Structure 1
Amino acid sequence: MSGEQANPVVKLSLPLQYQQDLFSELRAEDELVILARGLGLLRIVTNLLHSYDAAGNNLIIVVGAGSRENEWIGEALAEQYAVSRTPLARGLKVINTDKATVPLSLLIEPIELLDPETITGLIVLHAEKIVATSLEAFIIRIYRQFNKVGFLKAFSDSPEPFTIGFSPLANIMRNLFLRKPSLWPRFQVTVAESLEGRKKAEVIELEIPMTDKMRDIQNAVLECVEANIRELKKANSGLDIEDWTVDSALHQDFDVAIRRQLEHMWHRVTSRTKQIVSDLAVLRSILHSLLTYDSVSFIKYLDTIIAMHSPPPGSTRQNYSPWLFLDAAHVLFQTAKSRVYRGKISNQEFISDTASLPTALEPVLEEQPKWSVLADVLDEIERSTYPNPVAPGGSNGTILIMCSDGKTCYQIREYLETMRIKVETPNDETNDEVEVDGNKPSGEFMLRRKLRSYLNWKRISSKINSNMYDTKSKQEPGTASGYNSVGSATRYQGRAPPNKRRRVRGGGGSGLAPVRSASNSVQPDTMASAQVSTLLEEIKLAEPQDEAIGVEIVDDDQKDTEDFYQLYDMNDLLMVYSYQGDVDDHVLEEVKPRYIIMYEPDAAFIRRVEVYRSSHTDREVRVYFLYYGGSVEEQRYLSAVRREKDAFTKLIKEKGSMALTITHDRSAEDPQEQFLRTVNTRIAGGGRLAATAAPPTVVVDVREFRSALPCFLHGRSMIVVPCQLTVGDYILTPDICVERKSIRDLNIRELKKNNPEPDPIRAVQIGLDFDITSPAMAAAATGASNSIMTAAGIEHRTFNQLPQDMLRAIPGVTPKIAERLVLETENLQQIANMEMEELEPLVGKEVGRQILRFFRRNLFDEEIVD
């Protein structure tokens, strides 16, 4: 082999100093890397993989990567291979079991992997999710058990999970078999110098005030959130409730954290508490919708929420959502309605796309404040680019708008397409749109179109509601409720009728809108039901379309391709994207935007822009940062930045005082200790001590590796053998198998599957599936071990089953005592004739007294006394 092939030159795409330092650390030793969000974690991972790929003859397993991350890794390796042209690199063009980088799916059973000794190394993504019972930890344990020389490197860009619990960093590192953590926050010296030492991006911060009605709605929702938190604290005073505040309730993981604290007692929690936990997620979504939805879509969303939380007519259920009865809820619904229209909605005919709105309604159609600011920013960009249409440096003239989700992207596109269309007169019945070149953009045309759709939606939902319950009240007893009309069987063919569907969490019932009673209390309207809400969600009115035009069908020959397809001019392009995590780095590199408009704040994307600008000094970037001042949007952004900073500060302190993590190598264990681990110390009525040459073996169905129990079994030094089983999920001994069932799917008829077998299994146990946070999971592994040890002493002897069942029915006889009596006695007659002196050495004094009292009891004398 030539010297060039022995030491190939690797071309890296890491221009910043902190990236190069981190890459050198990773090549030198194994460690857990915790990087701040937005600093290019996947770029470092792909360069690390490319360095091993360029050396050739390496097999690397990537654990914990999602589908998008797999695509990122594949494209990045292929790109780097095309640039470097290293002879031994494969570029991920061949995904097989030899000499390639294989992203591992979590659906693959970890036992059936390649030989661990042939694996060069293991790379773990999302290390914050590694717990002792996770499938990733199972894979890492198996890898380290058989491969002591391969490298193991873990990565994470979420520091907050490493600060929850007692010594979380040390626990996760023990699960990863790593000793050294490497922390890279944004305020780290090298990171700060890399991002601030070069030319910075031009950032223009625009604080947009909310309207008065939006502020009233936000205050009302926050009041409902605070009331729910007070109810939770009152009902669960014994839990850790210091962090149960309105500020923490704005984050997405708040209801998950509450559920985690209540998990061990969830079966004892009242239905009211469960309802409040689900209501917190609903209220948080309302806050998000207030700032992202337009006013018409927002009130439609509120109507859907009310419909899902109202009981059906005539129902006596009392588990309504408590926040619906608050005064703040009344303010919420009334203010949301006042943003859209004034007046009363009547049950009118269908409103066409070009028809005017009803005269009884006065449209208000309040616009989102960000819309006008966005239009002004685009006008400013257009004025600045008019003298110089060609962008300087390596940037394009592309304008990139970033927002939170796909719905907001669609809303922005729709607004930009219709903001120059003005409505001539509200009462024009012929055509209410006129193209004008006004200077002031407006979303009135878009909102009026949405209002027509909303009114049609209300009319159809009211009609469905009235028809359903009128039919239900008129039909005779014994007929199918609401589904006795002609064609109902075909209308719901292939799916259950709405009233037969499985209920989901939060799918309780609700009415159309709460109204005020004479006592000034909020009363839900009972005109709608939970059954109707399912139908309401399925109603999707098509958006108004332009008139159909004739389309001429022609052959799409290759010669006509240039007439219909062409490349976009990147200097005159406006693109709207949603935040997609690490995929945003690809978007910045491919689009090369000159102007970036952050429609909603995101701390990670701000850092991605900093990395992008620092990596390409020849590209000019101007960033417009839009946010609502004094809103939960600003509060959530500042809180996320503060939480990340506090998490890194806590991790730095824990790293300074953390004990050294020592990984235990079982291959170096004393042979005598290994022998003692396999000894069966159960005497079993005076029997001999039993020892096996190998640890216990459990045959596990391959589908069971999605659960945590195989990981528990492997952690108790058992040999786990995967197999495709037809009967049972776990085979403990040749006579004992376990069928794992969840509580809702438990069916005793599963036991009858064993009867028609030609060689039936003598003992089938039904195991209930508990959550991994329950101690029952660890007890299941202990029970499996005990079952194997118990069966080892009696598997070569045959006993009659009926006397054993009678023996277990005797008071005080436990399974272990029954086994001892079976081994030491001949039959039940012998046990019934034993004296206390004979029973005491076998079962003890107390149990012997119960057995003796049971057999010496005279039922005839008791009847005479009675």
Structure 2
Amino acid sequence: MQVPASRNWLLPFHRAILARLIPEDGNEEDRDRLVLLAPGLGLRRIVATFLYAYANSKNLVLFLNASASELAGLNNDLKALGVGHDTIRSIHHEVSGKQRSEAYMEGGILSITTRILIVDMLTKRIPTSLVTGIVVLHAENVTPTSTEAFIIRIYRQENKQGFLLAFSTHVEQLAASALALQTTMAQLRLRNVDIWPRFHQYVDRDLGQNRADVTELHQPPTRAMRMIQAAIVECLEATLGEIRRSKLAVEVDDFQAESMLHKAFDTIVRKQLDPVWHRLAPSTKQLVGDLSTLRTLLHYLVSYDAVTFYMYLETVLAANAGEPGRTRQSLWLLSDASNVIFREAQRRLWCETDGSSELVLETPPKWALLREILDEIEQDAQQRSAPILIMTETERNAAQLRIFLAHADEDPAQPGRPVMAASFAEYVAWKQNMAQLHQTSQVPSDTRLSEALQSKVARAPQYKRRRVRGGMTAPAQTHAAHSVHVPIAPAQTDAHLLQDMHTDECTVDDTYFGVIDPGDIVVLHTYHGDDDDAILEALCPGYVIMYDPSPRFVRQVEVYRRLHHQSLRVYFMLYTDTLEEQLYLAGLRREKDAFERLIRQKATMAIPLTADGNVEEDADQRMLRSLSTRIAGGAARHTIPTVVVDMREFRSTLPSLLHAAGMQVVPATLQVGDYVIAPEMCVERKSLPDLVQSLHSGRLYTQCESMSIHYQHPILLIEFDQDKAFTLQSLGEMKHTKPITPRTAPNDLEVQGKLVLLTLAFPRLRIIWSSSPYATAEIFAELKQNYDEPSPATAAAIGMDNGTLSEQAFNLTPVDMLRAMPGVTAKNYTYLTNHIDSVQALCHVRLETIQQRIGAEPGRRLYTFLHTQLVR
């Protein structure tokens, strides 16, 4: 196999990685491996090069877990390598089964959704034994219950020669526990793992040469921002302290102040409390929600302007005042620190002096720093002419900076004043609209605006539509640093292309269609992961300004500069002593620690092997497979236990666990039920959210009705999340449950009440409670004992009779009466219901007619029962 030889495509460490994936000596026994790469080091470049080596009709390579943007980026890379457009073909739900079969036989590289692929594997639509190999992205998502693990299990059972490669850049998730990496590799059935951090010897050697000219600029926040941040942190600590004081929340004792700044902190706390969530008081649950709100405020403080931040504060206050079901206002809103937050946030906009209001409109400090950077670039641009790339975290920041740069010269003393004035005018209009929706008395007094202040807003300078030539803000201007705005998307990076920018208050009309000098191009772009490589390659910037910090993009710039040997100056902007700085530094530490833990785990990790060299099953899989030996009381079976599964159920984890338990999983389009585990037994599986929704909509009643008509043993299986409490309601919610009375409307009944009514309506319906998908697999194995195996064709045909199901749905009681009569069985009763209108009409039918419908002996027994007079 050959890889592209261009020196502008791969660095030496890239080639070292590929050499282990595509052995030059032809020894492909050990190429199956998991590759862990630090974000920003060029994973897409490596994957595209590997696929380039297999991009022909002689191979059939399956590509899993790629998003739409990742597929588009990989196809662009493969096109640049010269293998044609859309080399990776996408197989999704709109592609018919016939078209999929043709695509499999044509070969090439196919990106397939996991649900479609597992169904095609089970139905033998895809020649699994002929698959050249499988490539899995986002390997961190492969778990014992994932569909990817199901696919790989079948792949390795039927194909021993094909390769299997997995890639991931989410090392923190794989290092979260001592067994996370080992579990992932066991599910992938891999024995080898390659770990490539930024501090790897090869990586550091390549990127350490001719380092980029990086200027770190630390911008202090304003006094008001410091006070608000300190107050929010105080509220966070107080809220966490209240959670710690809960007797059931001992798991969160280890969290410290630095942990609270982690992006997933509130999610981690909620996960810790999930097992006892039903036992928590409503006030404790509200505190957990407050953690998320306060962390959001910390993030918005440094990412939003003062006006937008204050608007968000008012929405939080309004939500607390009028949110349905809220037992009380959040505790942090009653604290002194909360008063500091609202007071200082308001003072960033206006202040009250001597009974009058004065507009302040504090601009984000980074705006002034950005202006200084552009001034410096303007001076340097006299020696060289090169595009300027400004990177932001969100599109909102990019949109505001576009307006700021386009109008920075309107007020040289306060370059951001026009932008803030326009934002404040929008805020006043928003307040007026809110006042129209709600009465004035419902608006808190401290959030009303005086008429004098509103008049000042009305007199504030507004943006005016201006014409820009060649990216210049005005014909008389000769510099580009402060005024040029040419938005260039990754797919539209031609220097001749100008776009119109429209906002509510500002419009920049680009009407010049000539050639633009590279030094007059300023591009604002948001971070999009590996897609950012494309903007660097297409724009070839001479200056990069990172308005928001991103370790991934820093490495992407390093790789780009090393590949092209281009002079590049990088400006790195960061708020000092803020959440932004702490998150950036803490993120770097966590990543480094995660790589070090993974390296230690690799050195001590033991992957058990079977006799044929494959990875041995883990404990969960062995437990599931042992269930098959208990079917039929442990007696020897001559047939494989079979379960017919509805196509839609392959979105869940249960089919994979049933297969791991040794059962044959047969996909089918079922009209009645989700699982058919015996000819007489049908199961409708419901998760808790689906159960509640089905009960409220009435869909579950119809489903149970259909099962009761067509199966002797209809079953409703209610399956819980294995990581959450095994309960329907919390104790606090149960205290407020309305009593069930004959006058209570069905929509007002709680879940338990509706389930009781369901069992009363369908006496033969059985409800099974399952604590997890693993428990469900064991339950199915026990239910199948002493029953025949279901027929997939018969199960798929049930409910397909023309008009039978809809007509019988309204006559369930007479049908139950009929099926209870002698001679009538689950198989022959439909022959009677399709030709006889009612039980009364059946009593007048001749014996010969009944025997023609259901047989001689069953007909005689039924006729005798109907016409035998009871003796008193």
For normalisation by structure 2, the TM-score amounts to 0.70
Counterpart amino acid of residue 204 in structure 1 = T
- What does residue 319 of structure 1 align with? 328
Instruction: Check if 1:601 corresponds to 2:601.
Output: no
SS in 2 for 1:791: coil
Counterpart amino acid of residue 702 in structure 1 = M
1:451-850, aligned counterparts within 5 Å? 451-466=424-439, 546=464, 565=513, 568-617=516-565, 619-662=566-609, 690-743=635-688, 744-747=692-695, 750=700, 753=703, 760-773=710-723, 775-792=771-788
Give the conservation status (yes or no) of the 8 Å contact 2:3–2:50.
no
- What does residue 118 of structure 1 align with? 130
Say which of 374, 377, 380 aligns to 2:373: 377
1:427-466, aligned counterparts within 5 Å? 438=412, 440=413, 442-466=415-439
Say which of 3, 9, 12 aligns to 1:17: 12
Give the conservation status (yes or no) of the 8 Å contact 1:14–1:20.
no
Q: 1:570 to 1:59 in 2, by over 3 A?
A: farther
- What does residue 345 of structure 2 align with? 336
Counterpart amino acid of residue 292 in structure 1 = S
- What does residue 73 of structure 2 align with? 72
Instruction: Check if 1:130 corresponds to 2:142.
Output: yes
Could you list the per-position Cα deviations for residues 207-242 of structure 1 after superposition, in whole angstroms to 9, with x for gaps in the alignment?
A: 111111110001011111111221222225664435
Whole-angstrom distance in 1 between the partners of 2:55 and 2:513: 38
Could you list the per-position Cα deviations for residues 703-743 of structure 1 after superposition, in whole angstroms to 9, with x for gaps in the alignment?
A: 11111111111111111111111110111111111111233
Counterpart amino acid of residue 442 in structure 1 = P
SS in 1 for 2:403: helix
Counterpart amino acid of residue 600 in structure 2 = K
Give the conservation status (yes or no) of the 8 Å contact 1:206–1:624.
yes
Give the conservation status (yes or no) of the 8 Å contact 1:174–1:663.
no
Whole-angstrom distance in 2 between the partners of 1:547 and 1:10: 49
4+ long deviations beyond 6 Å:
561-564, 664-669, 673-677, 756-759
Whole-angstrom distance in 2 between the partners of 1:415 and 1:749: 54
Whole-angstrom distance in 2 between the partners of 1:91 and 1:316: 53
Could you list the per-position Cα deviations for residues 832-862 of structure 1 after superposition, in whole angstroms to 9, with x for gaps in the alignment?
A: xxxxxxxxxxxxxxxxxxxxxxxxxxxxxxx
Whole-angstrom distance in 1 between the partners of 2:425 and 2:336: 30
Kindly state the Cα deviation for residue 243 of structure 1 after the two structures are TM-superposed. 4.5
Q: 1:243 to 1:188 in 2, by over 3 A?
A: farther
Could you list the per-position Cα deviations for residues 58-100 of structure 1 after superposition, in whole angstroms to 9, with x for gaps in the alignment?
A: 1111111111111111111122125xx9xxx994479732321
- What does residue 112 of structure 2 align with? 104
Kindly state the Cα deviation for residue 570 of structure 1 after the two structures are TM-superposed. 3.3
Q: Which has the higher contact order (CA 8 A, sep 6+)?
A: 1
SS in 2 for 1:310: helix
Give the conservation status (yes or no) of the 8 Å contact 1:173–1:661.
no
1:398-437, aligned counterparts within 5 Å? 398-422=387-411
Q: 1:316 to 1:767 in 2, by over 3 A?
A: closer
Whole-angstrom distance in 2 between the partners of 1:67 and 1:380: 39
Range moving further from structure 2, 181-190 or 743-752: 743-752
SS in 2 for 1:745: helix
Instruction: Check if 1:212 corresponds to 2:223.
Output: yes
Give the conservation status (yes or no) of the 8 Å contact 2:189–2:615.
no
Range moving further from structure 2, 301-310 or 254-263: 254-263
- What does residue 382 of structure 2 align with? 386
Gaps of 5+ in 1: 1-6, 346-358, 390-396, 423-437, 470-510, 516-524, 528-542, 550-560, 684-688, 806-866
Give the conservation status (yes or no) of the 8 Å contact 2:418–2:462.
no
Q: 1:581 to 1:8 in 2, by over 3 A?
A: closer
SS in 2 for 1:81: coil
Kindly state the Cα deviation for residue 109 of structure 1 after the two structures are TM-superposed. 5.1
Counterpart amino acid of residue 697 in structure 1 = T
Kindly state the Cα deviation for residue 454 of structure 1 after the two structures are TM-superposed. 1.1
Counterpart amino acid of residue 170 in structure 1 = Q
Whole-angstrom distance in 1 between the partners of 2:195 and 2:40: 14
Whole-angstrom distance in 2 between the partners of 1:80 and 1:451: 50
Counterpart amino acid of residue 160 in structure 2 = K
Counterpart amino acid of residue 193 in structure 1 = R
Say which of 167, 171, 177 aligns to 2:189: 177
Instruction: Check if 1:255 corresponds to 2:266.
Output: yes
Could you list the per-position Cα deviations for residues 400-436 of structure 1 after superposition, in whole angstroms to 9, with x for gaps in the alignment?
A: 00111111111111111222223xxxxxxxxxxxxxx
Q: 1:714 to 1:628 in 2, by over 3 A?
A: same
Counterpart amino acid of residue 19 in structure 1 = H
Whole-angstrom distance in 2 between the partners of 1:409 and 1:403: 6
Kindly state the Cα deviation for residue 513 of structure 1 after the two structures are TM-superposed. 5.4
SS in 2 for 1:600: coil
SS in 2 for 1:57: coil
Could you list the per-position Cα deviations for residues 124-179 of structure 1 after superposition, in whole angstroms to 9, with x for gaps in the alignment?
A: 11111111111222222222221111101111111111122342111111011001
Counterpart amino acid of residue 132 in structure 2 = T
RMSD: 3.5
Give the conservation status (yes or no) of the 8 Å contact 2:89–2:109.
no
- What does residue 365 of structure 1 align with? 361
- What does residue 478 of structure 2 align with? none
- What does residue 815 of structure 1 align with? none
Whole-angstrom distance in 2 between the partners of 1:62 and 1:586: 22
SS in 2 for 1:272: helix
Counterpart amino acid of residue 388 in structure 2 = I
Whole-angstrom distance in 1 between the partners of 2:348 and 2:599: 49
Whole-angstrom distance in 2 between the partners of 1:663 and 1:124: 23
Whole-angstrom distance in 2 between the partners of 1:183 and 1:456: 54
Could you list the per-position Cα deviations for residues 305-361 of structure 1 after superposition, in whole angstroms to 9, with x for gaps in the alignment?
A: 11112137xx9953322211111111001100001012499xxxxxxxxxxxxx953
Whole-angstrom distance in 2 between the partners of 1:674 and 1:442: 67
Kindly state the Cα deviation for residue 387 of structure 1 after the two structures are TM-superposed. 3.9
Could you list the per-position Cα deviations for residues 265-310 of structure 1 after superposition, in whole angstroms to 9, with x for gaps in the alignment?
A: 2222322232222222221211111112111111111111111121
For normalisation by structure 1, the TM-score amounts to 0.71
SS in 1 for 2:438: helix
Whole-angstrom distance in 1 between the partners of 2:605 and 2:700: 50
Whole-angstrom distance in 1 between the partners of 2:193 and 2:625: 36
Give the conservation status (yes or no) of the 8 Å contact 2:630–2:782.
no
- What does residue 553 of structure 1 align with? none
Give the conservation status (yes or no) of the 8 Å contact 2:679–2:790.
no
Whole-angstrom distance in 2 between the partners of 1:234 and 1:211: 35
Q: 1:756 to 1:48 in 2, by over 3 A?
A: closer
Say which of 258, 265, 270 aligns to 2:276: 265
Say which of 14, 30, 33 aligns to 2:32: 30
Whole-angstrom distance in 2 between the partners of 1:388 and 1:628: 30
Counterpart amino acid of residue 205 in structure 2 = E
Gaps of 5+ in 2: 24-30, 92-102, 449-460, 468-498, 500-509, 617-622, 725-770, 792-814, 821-872
Could you list the per-position Cα deviations for residues 86-124 of structure 1 after superposition, in whole angstroms to 9, with x for gaps in the alignment?
A: xxx994479732321111224535222422112111111
Give the conservation status (yes or no) of the 8 Å contact 1:402–1:576.
yes
Give the conservation status (yes or no) of the 8 Å contact 1:133–1:711.
yes
Give the conservation status (yes or no) of the 8 Å contact 2:643–2:675.
yes
